[in-house]
């Protein structure tokens, strides 16, 4: 049986894990490795990629910076989150604001330390990234358009760290990144619709607050149709193996998304849409292996 003190420590651990969105960071780590293996360095042996210490340090630097980003975001949004997500916020509040700041600086310090193993340029890259996350959380996220765009850019930056490391400038990488950027942009706008009540109370000037739900839905519809461009290019122009199944599935999911979007009137409806977009992103991560399934089987066997 756990003592009361042990239970309290365990709850604090789960609280911190909730704040840094540990499950999201795990998916990003997997995505970085799969992207490196199948898109950025497909010519390299699997062992060479998996046991590349420089790549590991870049992935750890990304994970630490992202963890710090979630913490500082939680720090600034504590009052808003209490309105939008009361149950989760009660768990997160087990970690005090002072502890959050301490953890924030520790994670950022670790990120720079990991990056320093690779190169000075990596240190500069992640230092700018850390500053960008802080500036977004402190100032930019409260404003329409620029807040959404910045959030989407910050979400794809960790992939550019490994992209720059492998010096792979193939056009297909930018098309994949464009698709990811558009879906993340849609997710950010849906989150604004989902958090409309808290944003109004805390004077956040998001797109739904300033322009209303109908304009936000029109923008999401426009972004949905924009995703057709990278999807069609990837299916018809580039060699993506069996990953075309994923993109056909994404087309179907986005069709469902649009139907539900225009029927949505409550927060729970936007939560469903948010979950759907998140599922598209996560499914995309694990679908990367379909780019060259034969190579995957050969590597396993």
Q: What pLDDT digit, counting tens, does each position of 61-102 carry?
A: 999 999 999 999 888 877 776 777 766 666 566 677 788 889
Q: Which residue has the tokens 């075309």?
A: 244
Question: Could you give all domains of the chain from N- to C-terminal order, each with its CATH number?
Answer: 8-168 (1.10.357), 170-301 (1.20.120)
What token pair was written down for 80?
Answer: 């808003």
What token pair was written down for 90?
Answer: 């009660």
For the question of whether the overall pTM of this predicted structure is more than 0.85, the answer is yes
Question: Which long-range contacts link 37-43 to residues 24+ away (Cβ below 8 Å)?
Answer: 37/288, 38/288, 38/289, 38/291, 38/292, 38/295, 39/168, 39/172, 39/173, 39/176, 39/288, 39/291, 40/162, 40/163, 40/166, 40/168, 40/173, 41/166, 41/168, 42/291, 42/292, 42/295
Question: Which long-range contacts link 91-96 to residues 24+ away (Cβ below 8 Å)?
Answer: 91/11, 91/14, 91/15, 91/18, 92/15, 92/18, 92/19, 93/15, 94/11, 94/12, 94/15, 95/12, 95/15, 95/16, 95/19
DSSP 117-133: HH-HHHHHHHHHHHHHH
pLDDT of residue 248: 96
**In tens digits, what is the pLDDT along the chain, a chain of 301 residues?**
667 766 666 777 777 777 888 889 999 999 999 999 888 888 888 889 999 999 999 999 999 999 999 999 888 877 776 777 766 666 566 677 788 889 999 999 999 999 999 999 999 999 999 999 999 988 888 888 898 999 999 999 998 889 889 887 788 889 999 999 999 999 999 999 998 888 887 788 889 999 999 999 999 999 999 999 999 999 999 888 889 999 999 999 999 999 999 999 888 999 999 999 999 999 999 998 888 765 555 554 4
Question: Cβ distance 182 to 222 under 8 Å?
Answer: no
């Amino acid at each position: 049986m756990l003592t009361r003190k042990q239970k309290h420590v365990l709850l604090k651990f789960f609280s911190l894990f909730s704040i840094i969105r540990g499950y999201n960071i795990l998916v990003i780590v997997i995505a970085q490795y799969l992207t490196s293996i199948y898109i950025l360095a497909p010519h390299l042996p699997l062992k060479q990629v998996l046991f590349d210490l420089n790549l590991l340090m870049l992935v750890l630097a990304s994970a630490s910076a992202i963890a710090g980003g979630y913490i500082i975001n939680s720090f600034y949004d504590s009052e808003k989150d209490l309105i939008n997500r009361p149950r989760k916020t009660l768990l997160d509040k087990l970690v005090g604001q002072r502890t959050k700041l301490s953890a924030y600086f520790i994670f950022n310090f670790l990120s720079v330390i990991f990056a320093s193993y690779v190169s000075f340029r990596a240190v500069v890259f992640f230092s700018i990234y850390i500053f960008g996350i802080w500036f977004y959380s402190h100032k930019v996220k409260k404003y329409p358009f620029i807040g959404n765009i910045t959030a989407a850019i910050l979400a794809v930056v960790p992939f550019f760290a490994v992209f720059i490391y492998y010096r792979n400038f193939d056009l297909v990488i930018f098309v994949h990144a464009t698709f990811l950027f558009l879906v993340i942009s849609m997710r950010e706008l849906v989150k604004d619709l989902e958090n409309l009540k808290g944003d109004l109370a805390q004077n956040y000037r998001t797109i739904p607050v300033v322009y209303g739900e109908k304009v936000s839905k029109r923008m999401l519809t426009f972004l949905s149709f924009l995703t057709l461009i990278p999807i069609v290019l990837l299916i018809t122009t580039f060699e993506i193996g069996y990953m075309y199944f994923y993109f056909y599935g994404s087309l179907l999911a986005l069709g469902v998304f649009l139907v539900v979007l225009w029927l949505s009137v409550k927060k729970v409806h936007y939560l469903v849409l948010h979950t759907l977009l998140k599922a598209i992103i996560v499914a995309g991560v694990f679908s990367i292996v379909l780019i060259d399934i034969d190579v995957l089987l050969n590597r396993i066997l």
